[in-house]
Chains A and B, each alone.
Chain A
Amino acid sequence: MATQATPSYRQDDNSPVTEASQASSRRAVLLQNIAALAFGAVILFAVGFLPLSAAHNAAHDTRHTVAFPCH
């Protein structure tokens, strides 16, 4: 494959090189969005679901207000 990657071929938008870099940037975007989603889920778990009694009592009124199951 390396012999096919001549300079003119690289400049083509449809070249394997560009496609590969687009795919890797799409993967990077997806991974970062998944990480941000996980960050949000962990925070929501801490506020709404953590079974520790101190955490429950501190976030008690929030749990009731946003209708997380409580008590």
Chain B
Amino acid sequence: MLFRRIIFNALLVGLVAGVLLSVLQFVAIDDIIIGAEQYEAAVEESAGPISQWEPDDGLQRTALTLASNIFAGIGFSAVLLALMSQLQSQGIAKLNTFKGFLWGLAGFTVFFAAPGIGLPPEIPGVDAAPLQQRQLWWLLAVICVGGGLLLLAFAQNKFKPLGGVSLFVPYLVGAPHHDGPAFSHSDLAVIESLNALHHEFILASGLSNLVFWVVLGSACAWALNRWVLVDEYS
């Protein structure tokens, strides 16, 4: 059954990509997040105690991050495999591992770069617009840019301009922005180090996501031909 084969392969690819992302995160990103949280904690302490559950730093936090990275990998893989499977079944696309690499670049563009143009990746403690507005705009950016790229790559010529227009819609609508500085800290030296951490974070998360996506895209295309559409091609 096609559905079961997609899910099974999404679990496998997601596991590999999620572990890879966790290693990259451990090497390049965790220190930045924890560094920024120390400033955040100082602000929160002055605002009063919080009683919500959160994982203990160390093994528990690392294990939960590994698990949620794997789940993110599984979710992205299922979406990618479903789209690849549909396009290949219809004869619109013919995937191979190199084309999977290109799909990975497209996935990076759709899920990281496109929303990031309006809402740059954030370290903890950044003052930003209300969460729901940012989430809605994130979704708008992903759907418009993802749909636009699919139309440009696979639609009949008469629909391609629609794909081109779709790429710009989120930016014409405009990402929600917070009025005022990114960091509401009274100490200028702290703000300076937070800004430095933020720039470092954008670079580190960008590179990590790029590697994560090209591996995920290539692996999905390979698994698609090897295991998912096996009925049609064996």
A residues lining the B interface (CB < 8 Å)? 26, 28-30, 32-37, 39-44, 46-49, 51, 53-54, 57-62, 64-71
Contacts and interface: CB of A to CB of B under 8 A. Distances in A.
A47 B70 CA distance: 10
Contact of A33 (B1, B30, B82): B82
A67 B51 CA distance: 26
Interface string B76-107: 11111111011001100000000000000000
Interface residues of B, number: 56
B54 interface: yes
Given A37-B79, A41-B79, A62 B10 contact: no
Interface of B: 1-3, 6-7, 10, 21, 25, 29-30, 33, 52-55, 61, 64-65, 68-69, 71-72, 74-83, 85-86, 89-90, 111-112, 115-116, 119-124, 126, 128, 131, 134-135, 138, 201, 205, 208-209
A60 to B, nearest CB: 8
Given A36-B3, A41-B79, A65-B208, A57 B54 contact: yes
A56 B29 CA distance: 18
Nearest to B87: A33
A60 B51 CA distance: 16
Nearest to A53: B52
Contact of B64 (A29, A46, A58, A65): A58
B1 to A, nearest CB: 7
A47 B73 CA distance: 10
Contact of B72 (A37, A53, A66, A71): A66
Contacts of A66: 21, 72, 111-112, 205, 209
A37 B82 contact: yes
Contacts of A49: 135
Those 4 A-B pairs whose CB atoms lie nearest each other, nearest first: A40-B78, A43-B75, A44-B75, A69-B134
Given A32-B6, A44-B76, A57 B115 contact: no
Contacts of B134: 69
Contact of A69 (B1, B111, B112, B131): B131
B7 A69 contact: no
Nearest to B80: A40
